[in-house]
Amino acid sequence: MAAYLLLANFTDQGMRTIKDAPKRRAAARALAKTLGVEIKTANLAIGPYDLVVHAEAPNDDALATYLLSLASKGNVRTTTLKLFSEAEFDKIVGAVA
């Protein structure tokens, strides 16, 4: 499974309906599960992002499908970082010419 860090901000719509956020979070987790994406942690954040989520997915396509489905609801916008484990990092660096 590939690992990703999702940095999210609430949209104006998401903020207007913030009291529904716990229900939306549960729905987002359920949606992720149906697409093969596992939400490892989800945290409210203080700073430039409102939410920080650690997710794992079988591939980039599965995560992209999840993110587009999530974005289509109109409550959050995400910035995504793909993460590499230390072992993956070592392998990548080992291949540098």
* Nearest to 2, CA basis, from 83, 90, 96, 91: 83
What's the total number of domains in the chain? Answer: 1
Structural domain including 30 reads 2-94
Burial (0-12, 13-18, 19+ Cβ within 10 Å), 50: buried
Span 43-80, pLDDT tens digits: 999 999 999 999 999 999 999 999 999 999 999 999 99
**Rounded CA gap, 44 and 53, in Å?**
9
pLDDT at 44 (0 to 100): 97
pLDDT at 59 (0 to 100): 97
pLDDT at 36 (0 to 100): 98
**Rounded CA gap, 34 and 19, in Å?**
25
Span 2-35, pLDDT tens digits: 999 999 999 999 999 999 999 999 999 999 999 9
Q: 3-class DSSP state for residue 11? A: coil
pLDDT at 65 (0 to 100): 98
pLDDT at 66 (0 to 100): 98
pLDDT at 72 (0 to 100): 97
CATH number, domain with residue 70: 3.30.70.260
Query: How does the average pLDDT of the chain come out, rounded?
Result: 97
